[in-house]
């Protein structure tokens, strides 16, 4: 768990701290699949701004995840730009004014980075935009072997309509 201590920062209202930090990204479980960050350690920019009512935290970095494609299960790579913000009020009255990543003047960068990557992911992770997926009948990859199957089991109740269609 990578944390950042805020005790050494003595910011007054209106002042800002900017610094580079190394984030260690952990593997991500997303929709039942495991995605690995490559590289596992990425440089990030951390900004801490002191306001009159609290503190604003900003974390910016790029993550690259490797894992299976949603449609065909081939290897997929997704690059995610992350620009996350959090706010902690000086005297928080509710949970809306409190960040879950700040505990005892220590900012949990590992948990914050993991959650920010998960929120920045696309709805479906694909190997390519036009991925055709797997055949629902035989399971073959439609990207390499495009094909169709004829209906083998026809409902006998529709036979009269099929005969009518053939006559027209």
Cα separation, 167 vs 99, whole angstroms: 71
Q: Which residue has the tokens 């009255």?
A: 93
Partners of 108 in the beta sheet?
3
**Residue 98 has what pLDDT?**
87
55 vs 152, more confident:
55
**Residue 156 has what pLDDT?**
81
Q: What is the pLDDT of residues 10-53, one digit of tens each?
A: 888 888 999 999 999 999 998 889 999 999 999 999 999 998 89
**Residue 1 has what pLDDT?**
55
**Residue 165 has what pLDDT?**
83
Helices (H), 38-127: 109-120
Cβ contacts of 153 within 8 Å, gap of 6 or more: none
Give the three-class secondary structure for 159: helix
Q: What is the pLDDT of residues 125-151, one digit of tens each?
A: 999 999 999 998 889 999 999 988 876
β-pairing, 54-68 vs 41-50, is antiparallel
Cα separation, 39 vs 36, whole angstroms: 9
For residue 129 the two structure tokens come to: 């935009």
């Amino acid at each position: 768990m990578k944390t950042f201590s805020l005790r050494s920062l003595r910011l007054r209202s209106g002042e800002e701290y900017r610094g580079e930090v190394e984030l260690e990204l952990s593997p991500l479980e997303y929709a039942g699949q495991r995605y690995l960050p490559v590289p596992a350690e990425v440089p990030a920019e951390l900004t801490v701004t002191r306001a009159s009512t609290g503190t604003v935290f900003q974390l910016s970095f790029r993550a690259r995840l490797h894992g299976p494609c949603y449609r065909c299960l081939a290897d997929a790579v997704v690059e995610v730009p992350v620009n996350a913000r959090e706010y902690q009020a000086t005297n928080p009255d509710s949970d809306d004014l409190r960040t879950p990543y700040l505990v005892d003047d220590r900012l949990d960068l590992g948990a914050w980075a993991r959650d920010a990557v998960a929120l920045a992911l696309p709805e479906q992770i694909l190997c390519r935009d036009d991925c055709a997926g797997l055949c629902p009948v035989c399971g073959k990859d439609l990207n390499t072997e495009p094909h169709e199957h004829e209906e083998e089991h026809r409902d006998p109740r529709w036979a009269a309509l099929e005969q009518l269609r053939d006559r027209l």
